[in-house]
Amino acid sequence: MSVRIKGYAGTPLREEDLKQRKVLLVSYWPKAKYIWSAGIAIGRYLTELKSGRIVGRQCNKCGRIVVPPRMFCEWCFRPNDSWVILKDSGVVNTFSISHITADATRIKEPLIPAVIQIDGTTDAGILHLVGETDPKDVRFGMKVQALWKPPEERTGSVTDIKYFKPIER
Amino acid sequence: MFIKKRVAVVGAGMTKFMRRAQETGKELAYEAARMALDSCGLRIEDIECVTMGSAPDAFDGIHMKGEYLIDGAGAWRKPYMRNYVGGGTGVFAPIHGWQHVASGLFDTCLVVCEEKMSSCHPHPQAAFLTIFDNLTERPLGPNLVWIFALEMHRYMHVHNIPKEKIAVVSVKNKKNAMDHPCAQLPQKITVEDVLNSETLVWPVQRLDISPTSDGAAAVVLASEDMAKKITDSPVWIDGVGWNLDTAYWTNRDLYYPQYVENAARMAYQMAGIKNPREEIDFAEPYDPFDYKELHHMEGLMLCKKGEAPNLAWEGVTQRDGNLPICPSGGLLGVGNPIAAAGLMKICELFWQLRREAGKRQVPRDPRTAVAQAWGDLMQVGTVVVMRA
Amino acid sequence: MGLTERIRSPMDMVHVEGEMPVNYLYTAGVAGERFLREIKENAKILGIKCRRCNTVHVPPKIYCERCFERLDEWVELTGEGQVEAFTTCHFDHDGSRLAEPDILAAIRLAGANESIVHRIKRAPAEDVHIGMNVKAVFREKKDRVGSILDIDHFKPSAL
């Protein structure tokens, strides 16, 4: 900042100041509930997951197969052309080791979130988890295979695949 | 390209950045805007329009936050536009303001950015969760840090970067911040401190991350003729660029921010910069995580892909190095009130190029600098080139 | 590609339910803190005056949005005012009918140039009119918490 300026505004508060209501405040929990519809492409994607299949969409103009699928190619900006049934195996494009859950609580058994590039696509990855492996054994480029829940437990969700596990060489 | 008027930054102001402020969002915006006006002796009547950047309404918990902030941002009964591209907003708002003046439509523009993330409980992170696709990603129970960890790990893998060479950025920026009067987390730490800090989602550890913050910043823009009347040392905005990539982030190779390069090319071309490494004296890339400073240095073409960690490790990016990076202390040291953080970097460029940065002053007479911000689902690059 | 089927209920589409799990705590701010504390401790309503344009703002702010000047001249108001606009609500947020209609009004406080929104009680709806003189009625000190509702309602000045 300019060396001519003497003071900066801002009154810091501590967590306790809020908890103990040392300053006046108002609390509000907006009870907004949402129903997000899947749309045409993801509607089919989730329905196919329930049947134990991963599907993508292909654009004839650039040749890309994309997953998660969408009804248009955003590169060519045109509707894409066909559904493609893909293998349920792939390669680890990137991964991480999570010691916290969605609301930042610590967990004992770490999760291994990863971007899995599905076999048969050039750069189409999906976010999922790697399982049945020690975190320190996960490698970039590792070949993995989906482990599906039994058909009666599937609900039409990305969690119908429990995780991707390493393929034995 | 046809630009009607050259645009300069003539004044700047900001509040302290802190974890939770008593001030309301309006009061924070007022403090920064008032300071910016006072810094160049202008009155609110001299301001013809206002552009305001602020991140999602969900952080402050105020619906239609742009309209709520109008009177604190000095926009009462003025032409006013709000803009938002996630974390990229802080550099996007001055670009938006630049358009207002460069087009010839206005001679002065006040640019304000504000964020009050502390309203969000239990943690602002909860407001972020819908950044994940509700159908294909949220059922997996992701934490926001996952996406940064995945990007960081990919970057480290492709270029074989050891964690130490990334940790050194956090050490540098927190130390630089000790000379910034508004800093939230100025501290002297070591690379070991970073490597020993709590692992949240490997490879992201606690000391790799910038804090959540409340704060505001503001700059005053003026057209060339007006700027020369207002101040003897206007700082020119000579190049602007912005670019967004797909929201299908798992379909991109995360090791390189192509969208930052695209935005940088646009800004450099406008500014007539052919060799950024030679022609740019210092830079303020966006550093919400230490690896991001390096990632963005490469996207800004300040070095070859994979080379940034070596420059950091060798001290080239220190304030007295050959290419100072984040002399302000960046987000890691000063704080990260999402939209205001990027504008803080623009303020820093302004003060540095006028040799008013005090203890943070970069030596060797800097003339040309670049600021960059990033955000959304790791998809936006916003770049501004400024010259003394 | 056009629509391939007609859907009548959103629940028939493949969908996911969820929410944004956030609780907000809004601070009163620097000006708001003093305004509400004065109501809580002393049952007094404060405004703040801009020296430049002479506008008395209520609720008070740290700046005048017209002049963009910093404000520091606090003014005590009497708590009396005039109804500038009003409406009568017959239904609750969830659509159920209220036992007693709720009368809300924009009240221009005496000594200020701005209005606040509050409730009017002790006047039948048909008697409320624009220009009606009203006066603030505060809760008992032990029940005041530092909220705008520490003013329980405005009653007709005549009462």
The two structure tokens encoding residue B122: 């239990």
Looking at the domain assignment, is residue B31 inside a domain? yes
Minimal Cβ distance to C25: which of A11, A25, A34 = A25
Closest Cα in chain C to B130: C20
Q: Which of B116, B107, B95, B89 is nearest to B31 (CA)?
A: B116
Both tokens of residue B214?
């409340």
In a domain, residue C150? The reply is: yes
For residue B154, the surrounding DSSP H or E stretch is helix B145-159
pLDDT per residue of chain B (388 residues) written in tens, 0 to 9: 678 899 999 999 999 999 999 999 999 999 999 999 999 999 999 999 999 999 888 888 888 999 999 999 999 999 999 999 999 999 999 999 999 999 999 999 999 999 999 998 888 887 888 789 989 999 999 988 999 999 999 999 999 999 999 999 999 999 999 999 999 999 999 999 999 999 999 999 999 999 999 999 999 999 999 999 999 999 999 999 999 999 999 999 999 999 999 999 999 999 999 999 999 999 999 999 999 999 999 999 999 999 999 999 999 999 999 999 999 999 999 999 999 999 999 999 999 999 999 999 999 899 999 999 998 888 999 999 999 9
List the CATH number of the domain containing C51.
2.40.50.140
Residue B327 lies in a domain: yes
What is the domain extent for residue C48? 29-156
Chain B, 99 to 158: residues with Cβ < 8 Å from chain C are: 118-122, 126-127, 129-130, 134-135, 138-139
Option in C20, C22, C30 nearest B27 (CB): C30
Structural domain includes residue B202: no
Any chain A CB within 8 A of the CB of C11? yes
Q: Is residue B185 part of a domain?
A: no
What residue type is C91 in one-letter code?
Answer: F
Asked whether residue B35 is assigned to any structural domain, the reply reads yes
Q: Sort out which chain C residues have CB atoms less than 8 A from B19's CB and list them.
A: none
pLDDT of residue B229: 96
Report the alpha-carbon distance of residue B178 to residue B357 in Å, rounded. Answer: 13
3-state secondary structure chain A: CCCCCCCCCCCECCHHHHHCCCCCEEEECCCCEEEEECHHHHHHHHHHHHCCCEEEEECCCCCCEECCCCCEECCCCEECCEEEEECCEEEEEEECEEEECCCCCEEEEEECEEEEEECCCCCCEEEEEECCCCHHHCCCCCEEEEEECCHHHCCCCHHHEEEEEECCC
CA angle B244, B125, B332 (to 5 degrees): 70
Predicted pLDDT at B352: 97
The verdict on a CB contact (< 8 Å) between A34 and B134 is yes
Does a structural domain hold residue C133?
Answer: yes
Q: For A117-136, write each residue's pLDDT tens digit.
A: 999 998 779 999 999 999 99
pLDDT digits (tens, 9 = 90+) for A28-55: 988 888 888 898 999 999 999 999 999 9
pLDDT of A105 > 90? The answer is no
B127-152: per-residue pLDDT in tens? 888 789 989 999 999 988 999 999 99
Nearest-CB residue to A24 (from C17, C18, C32): C32
Residue C147 exposure: Cα atoms within 13 Å on the Cβ side: 15
Question: What is the longest distance spanned by two Cα atoms in chain A?
Answer: 71
Considering the domain boundaries, does residue C23 fall inside one?
Answer: no
Q: Positive or negative CA dihedral for B299, B305, B306, B310?
A: negative
Q: Which domain holds residue B41?
A: 7-121+211-387
Q: What is the CATH number of the domain that holds B338?
A: 3.40.47.10
- Contact with chain B for residue A100, Cβ under 8 A: yes
Testing the interface with B: which of C48, C61, C63 to mutate, by most B Cβ within 10 A?
Answer: C63
A36, A66, A135: residue with CB nearest B135: A36
Locate B1 and state its tokens.
């390209």
Cβ atoms within 10 Å of B318's Cβ, excluding its own? 18
Beta-strand ranges (E) seen in B41-197 are 49-53, 80-83, 108-116, 120-121
Overall pTM > 0.90: yes
Are B358 and B345 a contacting pair, CB within 8 Å?
Answer: no
For residue C149, tell me if it sits in a domain.
yes
- Cross-chain CB nearest to A42 (options B123, B136, B351): B136
Q: Are strands B108-116 and B49-53 parallel, antiparallel or unpaired?
A: parallel
Distance from C-alpha of B53 to C-alpha of B341, rounded to nearest angstrom: 11
Q: What own/partner pairs with CB < 8 Å and gap ≥ 24 does C59-62 have?
A: C59/C31, C59/C32, C59/C35, C59/C116, C60/C31, C60/C32, C60/C34, C60/C35, C61/B26, C61/B27, C61/B71, C61/C31, C62/B27, C62/B30, C62/C29, C62/C30, C62/C31
Does residue C111 form part of some domain? yes
Cα–Cα distance for residue pair B273/B258, rounded to 1 Å: 19
Into how many domains does chain B fold?
1
Tally the domains of chain C. Answer: 1
User: Residue B337 falls within a domain, yes or no?
Assistant: yes
The answer to whether the CB atoms of C19 and A31 lie below 8 A apart is: yes
Decide if C46 touches A, using CB distance below 8 A: no
Whether C151 is in a domain gets the answer: yes
> Locate tokens 């001519």: which residue?
A4
Return d(Cα A53, Cα A114) in angstroms, integer. 19
Residues of chain C above pLDDT 90, percent? 81
B303 belongs to a structural domain:
yes
Three-class DSSP category at B55 = coil
Residue of B nearest to C66 (CA): B76
3-state DSSP call for residue B32?
A: helix
**For B266-310, what is each residue's pLDDT tens digit?**
999 999 999 999 999 999 999 999 999 999 999 999 999 999 999
**Residue of chain C whose alpha carbon sits nearest to that of A31:** C19
d(CA B10, CA B41): 10
- The answer to the question of residue C36 being in a domain is yes
A9 CB within 8 Å of a chain B CB: yes
Chain B residues whose beta carbon lies within 8 Å of the beta carbon of residue C66: 76
Residue of C nearest to A44 (CA): C14
Is C32 within 8 Å of B24 when comparing Cβ atoms? Answer: yes
Model pLDDT, residue C3: 52
The predicted pLDDT at position B378 comes to 85
Could you tell me which chain A residue has the CA closest to the CA of C30? A11
pLDDT of residue B1: 64
**CB pairs A-C closer than 8 Å:** 75
Does an H or E element contain C47, and which?
Answer: strand C45-49
Beta bridge partners of B296: none
> Which of C20, C24, C62 is closest, CB to CB, to B30?
C62
